[in-house]
């Protein structure tokens, strides 16, 4: 599988690629690596994640992406980042397509070195390439650093998001 993006970063080479089933444990670990995620992710039972992976992988309107870091001089790349990008048709905005990015995570030890920016910029360009008129995301009210990060990338807090747990 070809790499979607490759860039030199401190300590090695960062590269984006489509996720493989073998990446699921690392993805779940990244999703669980904070106070919100640790309460809702359950790595002990991978079956729900495997079912979700199969559905995402089978649908070209959904991409599950991982970021790998290949250390300088190393041979084994480690999964250090992830996100999901979905492409949604809509009736509003004159039938515009939109993309939704979610589950954006970068390993804590690598935050602040541009990896998140590279991932989101790639997602923005892919969304444009697929004809999307806008990109949307949600981020928890308590994730103030994430709000600042997305604001620096041009995202605006234009709507009040609401969720209903089922």
Segment 77-122, tens digit of pLDDT: 999 999 999 999 999 999 999 999 999 999 998 988 899 999 999 9
**8 Å CB contact between 9 and 113:** yes
Residue 119 belongs to what H/E stretch? helix 115-129
d(C-alpha 108, C-alpha 144), whole Å:
15
Task: Give the pLDDT score at 1.
Answer: 63
Task: Give the pLDDT score at 90.
Answer: 94
3-class DSSP state for residue 66?
strand
Q: What φ, ψ does residue 95 adopt, rounded to 5°?
A: 75, 25
User: Domain coordinates of the chain in residue numbers?
Assistant: 5-152
What is the CATH code of the structural domain delimited by 5-152? 3.40.630.30
**Which two tokens mark 9?**
């970063």
Q: Please, what is the average pLDDT of the chain?
A: 92
Q: Rounded to an integer, what is the distance from CA 164 to the centroid of its chain?
A: 22
d(C-alpha 41, C-alpha 43), whole Å:
6
Which band of pLDDT confidence, cut at 50, 70 and 90, is reported for residue 73? confident
Residue 149 belongs to what H/E stretch? helix 144-152
pLDDT over threshold 90, residue 72: no
User: What pTM, to 2 d.p., does this model score?
Assistant: 0.91
Task: Give the pLDDT score at 38.
Answer: 61
């Amino acid at each position: 599988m070809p790499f979607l993006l490759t860039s030199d970063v401190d300590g090695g080479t960062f590269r984006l690629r489509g996720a493989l089933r073998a990446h699921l444990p690392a993805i779940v670990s990244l999703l669980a690596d904070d106070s919100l995620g640790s309460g809702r992710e359950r790595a002990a039972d991978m079956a729900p994640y495997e079912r979700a992976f199969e559905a995402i992988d089978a649908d070209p309107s959904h991409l599950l992406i991982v970021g790998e870091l290949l250390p300088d001089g190393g041979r084994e790349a480690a999964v250090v980042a992830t996100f999901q990008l979905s492409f949604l048709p809509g009736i509003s905005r004159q039938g515009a397509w939109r993309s939704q990015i979610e589950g954006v995570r970068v390993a804590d030890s690598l935050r602040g070195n541009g990896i998140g920016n590279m991932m989101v910029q790639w997602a923005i360009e892919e969304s444009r390439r697929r004809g999307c008129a806008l990109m949307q995301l949600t981020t928890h009210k308590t994730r103030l650093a994430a709000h600042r990060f997305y604001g620096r990338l041009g995202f605006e807090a234009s709507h009040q998001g609401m969720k209903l747990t089922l």
